[in-house]
Each structure stands twice: as C-alpha cells, then as structure tokens.
Amino acid sequence: MNAGSFIARRLGDKGNRISWISVALSIAVMVVAIAVVDGFKAEIRSKATGFMGSAVLAPPGQSPMNEGYPFADSLSFKDALDSLRCVESVSAVAYRSGLVKTPEAIAGLYFKGVDSLYDFSFFKSCLCEGGLPDFSGGISNQALISRRLADQLGISVGDKMTSYFIGDDIKVRRFDVCGLFDAQLEDIDKSFAVIDIRQVRRLNGWSKAGSSSVEIRIPPRASIDASAAAVENLVSDRMTDDDPSLFTVSVKRIYAHLFDWLALLDLNVVMILALMMAVAGFNMISCLLIILFRNISTIGILKSMGMTNRAVSGVFLRKAAALVGKGMLVGNAIALAFCLIQKYLHVIKLDPANYFVSYVPIDFNWLQILAVNVISFIVIMLILSLTSIFVSRVSPAVSMKVE
C-alpha cells in the first residue's frame, strides 16, 4: 500500500453519510429509470409486432392491410427469408374490412386471415378467455377477437358474430367467437378479428394463394431497423421477374405513434441521467470540501514534507472514490430490489388506456446498467477533481497554525 492510499484510509468518515446516501439515491433513480423505460420498450414492441410482425412485405403504394391488390404468396425467395438469422417466421396474411352488428352496437374492423402455420404466440400470451382458433382442418368459422371489442358488442366466447362485408354486393358471415385476447392497445385491439385466411380469400374473390401482405417476425431483442434493412436487401437481391413487386415496411412506420412515444421516453431518461449525475457530483463536492476544511492542517503537513499538490489531491480523491463506490453499491442494491418486486408483484398499477400496459413494466438491460454505473463514476470523479484547485491554494506555513 502506498502512502496516499494509507493516508486516505486513515481519514475519518464522520459527517460523510449524506454524501454517499446522495450518490446511492441518484444511482437508484437512474437504474430504475433505465429498467422502466426498457420495460416499456419491450412491452410496446411486443404488442406492436404481435399484431403486424416486425417488418411487412406489401405491394408498392399499398397498406399492408390492402384489399385491392392481392399477390400470390409463392415467393421464390421465401426459403431465403426463412434462413436469415434475424428472421423467426414468415407468414402470408389477407385482410378484409367489414362491420359487426349486434343488438347492442355496431363496429367496423379488419378481419385478418391467417393459416394453420401462423405464429399465434403473441395472441396466446394475451389470451384472457376461451382458446385460440384452429385452422388446420376444413374452412373454419372460428374468430378470435379482443375483449374490448367483445364488451363493446355485448358478446362473449361461444356467441355468434354476424359480420357484413360491403362491396359490389353485401356478403354476410356468421363467425363463432372462440377466444378473447387483451393486448391493452385500446384502438388497435378493437380493430382486429383473426379468422381463417380461406374465408378472407373467398370474401375478396381471390385465388387460393392470394395475400394482402407477408409478415416477418424477428427475435424480441433484435434490432427492428437492422432486420428490416436485411430483409429489404435480400428481397431486392433475390426477387425474380416472376415474383410480385413488393417493398418492405417496418412496424415502426406502421405504428409510428407508439414508437414516437417511446422515443420521447428516451429523451426523458437522458434528462434524468444528466440531472442525477449532476446532483450526485455536486453533493460529493460539498462533502469533499468539508473533508478538506477539516484536514487543512494535514494538507499543510503533507505539503511541507514534500508532497506535490497532485499527490495531496489524490489522497482526498481516493477517500471520495471510496464514498462514491459505497453509494453506488447501495444504490444498485436498492434499485435491484425495487425492480424485482415490481417485475414479479406488479405493485405499481397503470391505466392501460393511457400507458398501453396495466402496470409499470421492468426489463433489465445489464449492459446499459453497467455503462451508466461506469459513466456516473467517471463523471462524478471528474467533477471532484475540481477540488484540486483548493489544495493548490493551501499554504503550509499558514495551514499548520490551524488547530
């Protein structure tokens, strides 16, 4: 152990409790803020991609829910899409808009047609009553709708849902409600019903392979932008003259309002991080100045013994670093305990109509949390290095007279 470290350890801790508590609270707030925002990102992304996939292939100039420009789903590059590392599943879907009428209400919505190979994992995760539809046999009349739509229409699982499809003529279909899901996306929930894709193709007068779009799903933590770009590059490279002309649409574009809201949360977190670092840093400066004033005679003695200003400052910065480290450990422990309680017990509730979730979500991005801790420590220590100005102004001749 060198002299600087030895002297730093001998300096007392009296009166320093406020300093490390300040650091602990600041770190706790930062870690909780990151975990909450990451939780919102994970939840909202899961819901948005659950309805439409992470990227969608659609005809040029058309919505992914188009009804007027079908294309055959026998794409020459489908196997290449499936083999992409960033792709989990590729599914052709078909849409038809219609009306549902009951004695209680009337509602307009999109009927989304899918086949038996469709990935129902999202709807399974938010299924609240009944079961998922089974499209593996003959043409099915089953329909999966949201709980909000069911409440609005006054129907429940097992009821018939009379639907009207208006075009050159009016077509009427009666679907059996097999299950209700609750994704807690108010407007989007009420605008979808999942039915057999063969029903949609019949209603639209399409061929057995006619599709509105192709949904592409990626792993939960994969980058949507990077994956959409990879899909777009593959399609442009592998598309042949026999393939329909398709372009790639990211879910961020389809549900731009949701992802714009998440971007606003990111901005808020940056402001919180900057504020908390500043608060912790300047509280530590106050603490270190108190330590310096209490040990002014010690500073004089050390300088009279030949210690440079830099070496003397290092002694007190080591003491400050120990206090900062203690505060960071306590702060991380508090944040982790709070986040685990909220993650598994859902103590803090939210209104889904405003926040799209029923409780404050938590998700741990350990790399971000580690980065915040490291950056906070560096920033606080840089702020504390300003105290070297005080040390340089201490005169040994005067300070050694102070008792």
Beta bridge partners of 171: 165
DSSP reduced 3-state for 295: coil
263 and 222 share one domain:
no
**Contact criterion met (CB below 8 Å) for 66 and 212:** yes
Selection from 251-255, 297-301, 309-313, 366-370 with the highest mean pLDDT: 366-370
146-167 per-residue burial string, b: 16 or more CB within 10 A, e: under 16: bbbbbebbebeeeeebebebee
| Residue 53 within any structural domain of the chain | no
Which pLDDT tens digit goes with each residue over 230-247?
888 988 888 888 888 888
| Count of domains observed in the chain | 2
| Residue 251 within any structural domain of the chain | no
Tell me which of 200, 217, 245 is where a domain ends: 245
Kindly report the backbone phi and psi dihedral angles of residue 20, in degrees, each rounded to the nearest multiple of 5, phi listed first.
-75, -25
Report the chain's mean pLDDT, rounded to a whole number.
83
Tell me which of 218, 245, 272 is where a domain ends: 245
27 and 156 share one domain:
no
Which pLDDT tens digit goes with each residue over 273-326?
788 877 777 777 777 667 666 666 666 666 666 667 677 677 777 777 888 888
Which pLDDT tens digit goes with each residue over 16-40?
677 788 888 888 888 998 898 888 8
167 and 313 share one domain:
no
Report pLDDT for 4: 47
| Residue 253 within any structural domain of the chain | no
Give dist(CA 316, CA 313) in Å, integer: 5
Token pair of 176 as six digits: 């059996």
Q: Please give the model's pTM, rounded to 2 decimal places.
A: 0.78
Q: Between 148 and 258, name the one with better pLDDT.
A: 148
73-95 per-residue burial string, b: 16 or more CB within 10 A, e: under 16: bebebeeebeebebbbebbbbbb
Q: At residue 110, what is the residue type?
A: Y
Domain that holds residue 179: 60-245
Kindly state the average pLDDT of the residues 204-212. 89
207 and 306 share one domain:
no
Give dist(CA 166, CA 164) in Å, integer: 6
Token pair of 110 as six digits: 């999109």
